[in-house]
A and B are shown apart, each in its own frame.
Chain A
Amino acid sequence: MSRLSPLRPFYLLAPLGLLYLAIAGRFVQLHAYKVELSETYSGNLEGESVLLADRGRILDRNGYPLAYDRPSYTLEYGYRWEHRRYNPANWSEGEPMSEEQILAEVAEVAAVTGIDAEKLESDLRDPSLLLTAILFDIDPFHADRIRGMMAQYPNFGLVVREARTREYPLGRAASHAIGLYDEYLEERETGELDESGEAVTEIALARPAMAIESAFMEQLTGVKGRKESVRIRHGINPAKILVEPVDGEDVLLTIDATLQELVRIELVRVMREQNPEAAAAIVLDVRTGEILAMHSLPDFDPSSPSKDDDGLGADGEAVSLHFKFKDPFEPGSTFKTIIVATALDLGVIRPDEHFPDGGSIRIGPRFLENASSVPKGSKTAMECLLHSSNVVATRIAQRIGVPRLRAAMERIGVWNELQLTGHRLSPGASISEEEWGTHQGPVYTLPSVSFGQGFYINPIRLAGLLTAFANDGNAVVPYLVQGEGSEPEPICTPASAAYVRDAMHQMMERQVHHNKFLPDIGVEAAAKSGTARNESNHRENTVLFSTFAPVEDPEVLVLAVVYNPDVDLIKSRKGPSGTRHAGPLATRILEHALRIRGVLPPADPRSLESVSALGTLKTVRDDR
């Protein structure tokens, strides 16, 4: 029996040990030296990708999206010419690709992508065309078809890249309220010069934004994810590093999408009928101050805000990025309501007191006149509001006197800056010390203020103040983003508010049933019109109309303004009037709002107005 070699176990174990070491070494190589690995595989099999995050949505009060991101794809030429299928350097010497083969392959892909085959073929053989996008906004189904087709031809030279498209379902209708957002790469000059003296440029991400899209930039912006993986030819290869993307947070507005759309329809109607410079409207919840809709025309398409040489957008409509209600204006006779309420609260007039009104009044060196439609004869404060008498309003303001009127306007906060998120509103210039204090005060300033001229107030602020007459003297502070509401501000007593509301109710009844200037919407409403007229230039008139309903238990208030309407002076010899030129607009918007709120019953389903009767759209809020 021969003695076994003492090294025999070593001989047996050595191959196994070597195998073990080889496998362990391979694992270390795979997972620790990725650079070396990528070099081994020509850098083509090591992948790092960015995982896109959705920008947060902007939702209306019912969860309907006013802005959201949708996945889309772009088709680009790949960035590596050296790997491209039609690069002759990649063809094995024995099997060069024939022209027919190339044309046949390209024709198949061209048929799926919809790109011209000849162009595609010449582009793919052009080494300079790298990272150039040829198709945008491809939907996922189409992208999958393109990918599937190209998978048959490795290194085809086209890349389907994932992107996000910001979508605005209401289009122009919500443009001023929510603004816009876009992002793209642009070439910028760094401000430095290179050796040859030319400006150095860099590719930077541009992110233009406006209004809500800009104000909530941080909240809406998501955080991109990242994935690094080893790509081996077969099977699914696990990610080495995976950082999930985090979508941006949603922003909830107080806007009602359906009403917003209807407000724009009505504004468009006014623009067509009266050809004004601009028209604007706002709808408020009189109890909370929530802005249910606000818009002005001209507006813009958030997806394509640029305009051509004619000032028109791609859709042929006028373009303006400026929201008209950011500018202050003269409130006209709507301000008489505040004057009367102030006088009643100060006790300087009695509700049943009559003031003489001969159609004009002499104040110092000048005469103030009523509009020609105002009947002559003494009037109570209520009749002053009903007929919109400048003479009686001036007399009431004289009773108040300059110091008390000035103090009241400051207490009410006529020129308080209104913080509307995303919108920088101009509060208007307050009346100067000189205008109040010198001899101008009682002669010019006081009478002008009494009928809302000679000073400027922001329209949204005015709408908020007018809610006091629908809300027992408490003026709400308008707001646009849910959760930002604040307590109403008392500006007059409930008794004064009720008095003014009665006058506004009578005014509305008169215009609907007696003068028939306004449509009967089937609900008791209260209203006050206003006109700020430039006597020297009849093209410069601002007409406005504010209305709220139902009178017994008000829910919504509408303020509609038409800027410089092109009035046919043959038909309207008295020039533009708040009731006739802004009244129908405000009344129709009020009707839409009341149908949406369920105050009015649904209309005939065959009429356009019935759209509002559908109510707000039901959308599950957290369905992403």
Chain B
Amino acid sequence: MSGRAAGLVLLVLCELIAGLGLRNEALAARSRAEAYNRDYVEYRRYAGHYRHLRYSLESPQAVRERLLLEILRQENESQPEL
């Protein structure tokens, strides 16, 4: 095989490897982005749920109920044991 032919083979091989490699990297990068995006979506769902829990705890009604419970507890404690 002449040097020119060998060079051509080498060139094709390099092209193939580089092409496949770049393609693979592109896919990998998009997959990473997809993975991050899925994590982000999942995080948002959980954040939404935690936010809902926090709002529930902070709602004026919840605060009032906790205060009333605290009043009841204190009143119970102030009663002499039978």
User: Which residues of A are interface residues toward B (Cβ below 8 A)?
Assistant: 4, 8-9, 12-13, 16-17, 19-20, 23, 27, 51, 54, 64-65, 68-71, 139-141, 162, 167, 169-171, 173, 229, 235-239, 242, 257-258, 260-262, 265, 605-606, 608, 610-611, 614, 617, 619, 623-624
Contacts and interface: CB of A to CB of B under 8 A. Distances in A.
Contacts of B35: 236
Contact of A70 (B12, B51, B71): B51
Contacts of B51: 68, 70, 623-624
Contact of B52 (A64, A167, A258, A619): A167
A54 B55 contact: no
A140 B49 CA distance: 7
Of B46, B61, B67, B71, most buried by chain A (CB within 10 Å of CB) is B61
A9 B5 contact: yes
Nearest to A65: B55
Nearest to A259: B60
A261 B9 CA distance: 81
Contacts of A170: 59-61
Interface centre among A71, A141, A605, A617 (most CB of B within 10 A): A71
A19 to B, nearest CB: 8
Nearest to A227: B37
A9 B34 contact: no
A330 to B, nearest CB: 33
A614 B56 contact: no
Interface in B51-82: 51-52, 55-56, 58-61, 63-64, 67-68, 71, 74
22 contacts: A4-B1, A9-B1, A12-B9, A13-B8, A27-B23, A54-B48, A64-B55, A69-B48, A71-B49, A139-B49, A140-B48, A141-B49, A169-B61, A170-B60, A237-B31, A238-B33, A239-B37, A261-B60, A261-B61, A608-B67, A611-B67, A617-B58
Contacts of B48: 54, 69-71, 140
Q: Pick from B12, B30, B52, B58 the residue with the most CB of A within 10 Å.
A: B52
A617 B60 contact: yes
Contacts of B23: 27
Nearest to A261: B60
A527 B63 CA distance: 31
Nearest to A4: B1
Nearest to A143: B45
Contact of B9 (A13, A239, A605, A624): A13
B45 A140 contact: yes
Given A23-B20, A140-B46, A619 B58 contact: yes
Contacts of B30: 238-239
Given A170-B61, A239-B34, 16 more contacts: A9-B5, A9-B9, A12-B1, A13-B9, A13-B12, A70-B52, A71-B45, A162-B45, A173-B60, A173-B61, A235-B31, A260-B60, A261-B61, A605-B67, A623-B51, A624-B47
Lowest 3 A-B CB distances belong to which pairs? A238-B30, A261-B60, A70-B52
Given A17-B12, A54-B48, A167 B37 contact: no
Interface centre among B5, B51, B71 (most CB of A within 10 A): B51
A167 B55 contact: yes
Contacts of A12: 1, 9
A238 B52 contact: no
A167 B16 CA distance: 57
A238 B61 contact: no
Contacts of A8: 1
B56 to A, nearest CB: 7
B55 A611 contact: no
- Choose among A16, A70, A141, A167 the residue with the greatest number of B CB atoms under 10 Å from its CB: A70
Given A27-B23, A54-B48, A71-B49, A261 B64 contact: yes
A232 to B, nearest CB: 11
Categorize the interface residue count of chain B.
35 or more
B1 A237 contact: no
B58 A238 contact: no
Contacts of A257: 59-60
A65 B27 CA distance: 42
Nearest to A616: B60
Given A23-B20, A617-B58, A608 B31 contact: no
B12 A68 contact: no
Contacts of A54: 48
Contacts of B60: 170, 173, 257-258, 260-262, 611, 617
Contacts of B34: 229, 236-239
A623 B9 CA distance: 60
A614 B63 CA distance: 9
Contacts of A70: 48-49, 51-52
Contacts of A20: 12, 16
B67 to A, nearest CB: 6
Contacts of B58: 64, 617, 619
Contacts of B13: 16
Contact of A16 (B5, B12, B45, B63): B12
Nearest to A167: B52
Given A70-B51, A162-B45, A242-B37, A608 B68 contact: yes
A89 B8 CA distance: 55
A16 B31 contact: no
Contact of A608 (B45, B55, B64): B64
A16 B57 CA distance: 67
Contacts of A17: 12
Contact of A611 (B27, B52, B64, B74): B64
Contacts of A624: 47, 51
B61 to A, nearest CB: 6
A9 B12 CA distance: 12
A235 to B, nearest CB: 7
Interface string B1-34: 1000100110011001000100100010011011
A16 B15 CA distance: 11
**Interface hub of A9, A16, A23, A614 (most chain B Cβ within 10 A):** A9
Contacts of A19: 16
Nearest to A51: B41
Contacts of A51: 41
Contacts of B44: 71
A611 B63 contact: yes
Contacts of A64: 55, 58
A146 to B, nearest CB: 14
Contact of A238 (B16, B27, B47, B67): B27
